[in-house]
Amino acid sequence: MDLYGWIQLAVFIGLLLLLTKPVGLYLFRVMDCEGRTFLDPVMKPLELLLYRLFKVDPKEEQDWKQYTVSLILFGLMSLLFTYILLRVQHLLPLNPQKLGALSSDLAFNTAASFTTNTNWQSYGGESTMSYFSQMVGLAFHNFTSAAMGIAVAAALVRGIARQTAKTIGHFWVDLVRVNLYLLLPICLFFAVFLVAQGMIQNFKPYDTVKLVEPYTTQVEKKDAGGQDLKDAQGKPVMEDKKVDTQTIAQGPMASQVAIKMLGTNGGGFTNANASHPYENPSPLSNFIQILSIFLIPSGLTYYLGRMVKNQRHGWAVWGAMAVLFMAGITWSVGGRKRRATPI
């Protein structure tokens, strides 16, 4: 990494450090209802409505067993919801490419991984998922799984801070407040920023364009029934195929990428994720997307210090995380140099 790379890294660390305290203080207000937030006039009526629908008393708290059961039940319900959605994708709207239903194993793999925030992407997003599945199935999980992770972090911090208390908050209250007061508003502005940088956000069918420089490649030859042909040795029979067109994916990308990055999720709209120019159209979008990944975890360290009434403890955790991050950066840069060295 050259001098400019190290300057960019220094700017990144400095900006993240500056944002840690305000994000932590805001998390303190959101997670523990300490005072009002600037979003209360808009979000409070919706928050109270959701409590009534869930039959939740926001003033009550749960012990760790009740909190855990609520977490697991919500995870199971959302997993089942997404699994069914992916299995009947071909029957649902917003599918201009007429993509078929996912197989049972792929639907389960996707639903389970998105529920747990691991977001294992064993599919090509633009060739597998309809717009409806991307928004209602995957982006929904990007919000809820991130909120579940933040809620668990807050519950752990409460357990440390309260020591002798028997309760650690209320899962359903945490889930609602994290989404309404933190993830949704940030992602709204983040998505608009990404669109301004050149990321797409539409419901158009895919575009097909002519290549300026057509090329020829080899593909497996198929018989009349669509099966791969094999030679006497059992090897696939290859044939030349001229490629003179390219399919350009469209869709509601910015809204999904915003929460994908902020919630530290995976599962990009396209198979290439942030390597795709639509998902990462400019150097500034690249910088802000990286910053968004670190934003909430960094703020949680200040939240920890505030809750245990020892801010030095919170900054110590932040420092430990920064050291590990810098060690990873240094190792990665060294690895790149070693690979680039000619033998």
Question: Are 29 and 150 in a shared domain?
Answer: yes
Quote the DSSP letter at residue 229: P
If one counts the domains in the chain, the total is 2
Between the alpha carbon of residue 147 and those of residues 165, 238, 239, 259, 282, the distances in Å are 24, 49, 50, 11, 28
Contact 302, 21 (CB under 8 A): yes
Only one residue has tokens 């305000």, namely 22
What is the extent of the structural domain holding 175? 3-200+253-340
Question: Are 192 and 100 in a shared domain?
Answer: yes
Domain-terminating residue out of 248, 278, 308:
248
Only one residue has tokens 């599945």, namely 133
pLDDT at res. 82: 95
Question: Are 104 and 175 in a shared domain?
Answer: yes
pLDDT at res. 163: 81
| Nearest C-alpha neighbor of 94 from the set 37, 132, 46 | 132
Q: Distance between terminal CA atoms of the chain? A: 20
Question: Are 235 and 307 in a shared domain?
Answer: no
pLDDT at res. 343: 53
pLDDT at res. 231: 82
Low-confidence ranges of the chain (pLDDT < 50): none
Contact 140, 252 (CB under 8 A): no
pLDDT at res. 121: 87
Question: Are 155 and 288 in a shared domain?
Answer: yes
Instruction: Write down the pTM of the prediction.
Output: 0.88
Task: Decide: helix, strand or coil at residue 75.
Answer: helix
E strand or H helix at 208, and its extent? strand 207-220
Question: Are 225 and 82 in a shared domain?
Answer: no
pLDDT at res. 51: 95
pLDDT at res. 216: 93
Contact 240, 262 (CB under 8 A): no
Question: Are 103 and 185 in a shared domain?
Answer: yes
